[in-house]
Every structure is written in structure tokens, then in C-alpha cells.
């Protein structure tokens, strides 16, 4: 049995389906089965990381000490509505149509 299985047990198909729904992913039954093992392994790895002694280690936001270029904020002309509409998968009038994500049971 792997470390992940000892700590969490194998994720159930129902748990994987819930994570997929919350992530807005459409997975086949084969992908659900495959994802259960992969997600269990990730959780096992996270458990191993929790065992590390990190006392006195400062949090790191980025491994390279670079700073962003801060150009002056100057307004520029945006894309014409017709160009945006041509790139969008669906439109309604001058608006881009997107899938409903609120009140569809997709919450936690």
C-alpha cells in the first residue's frame, strides 16, 4: 500500500466526480478511475510534505528576486467588439455568452 493510501485511502469515484464538477471538468468513466489513483498520490505527497520541519524557514513568494516592470498606466484602444465576438464561442447581441456557473448546484 502506498503512503497516500495509508493516509487517505483511495479516493472514491464519487469524490473524484465531485472534484471534477467543482473544477468544471467533464471526465469519462475511465478518466474518473485513473484520476482517483493520481489524486490519491498527490494527497499522499502533500502529507509527506507536512512532515518536513520548516521552523525558521521564511515563506518564499518567488524563487527569483526580480521585480515587475512598472510602466506608466496609459489607456490604449481595446479590441473592437466585432473582433471579440469573432473569437468568442457564443455571443448574444454585443455580449459574449458564457456557461451559467451560479445557482446550478456547482458549489461546494
Query: Buried b vs exposed e over 41-58: b needs ≥16 C-beta within 10 Å?
Result: bebbeeeeeeeeeeeeee
Where in the chain does DSSP place strands (E)?
91-92, 95-96
Q: With bands split at pLDDT 50, 70 and 90, how would you rate the model's confidence at 107? A: low
Measured in whole angstroms, the distance separating CA 50 from the mean position of its chain's CA atoms is 21
Q: Which domains does the chain have, with CATH numbers?
A: 3-50 (1.10.20)
Q: What span, in angstroms and rounded, lies between the C-alpha atoms of 64 and 21? A: 35
pLDDT tens-digit profile of 37-56?
A: 999 999 999 999 999 999 99
CB 69 within 8 A of CB 49: no
At residue 69, does pLDDT exceed 90?
no
Amino acid at each position: 500500500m502506498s503512503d497516500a493510501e495509508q493516509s487517505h485511502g483511495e479516493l472514491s469515484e464519487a469524490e473524484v466526480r465531485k472534484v471534477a464538477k467543482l473544477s468544471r471538468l467533464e471526465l469519462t468513466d475511465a478518466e474518473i478511475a485513473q484520476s482517483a489513483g493520481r489524486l490519491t498520490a498527490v494527497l499522499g505527497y502533500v502529507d509527506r510534505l507536512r512532515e518536513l520541519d520548516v521552523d525558521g524557514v521564511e515563506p518564499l513568494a518567488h524563487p527569483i528576486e526580480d521585480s515587475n516592470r512598472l510602466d506608466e498606466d496609459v489607456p490604449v484602444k481595446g479590441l473592437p467588439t466585432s473582433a471579440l465576438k469573432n473569437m468568442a464561442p457564443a455571443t448574444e447581441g454585443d455580449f459574449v455568452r458564457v456557461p451559467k456557473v451560479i445557482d446550478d448546484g456547482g458549489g461546494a
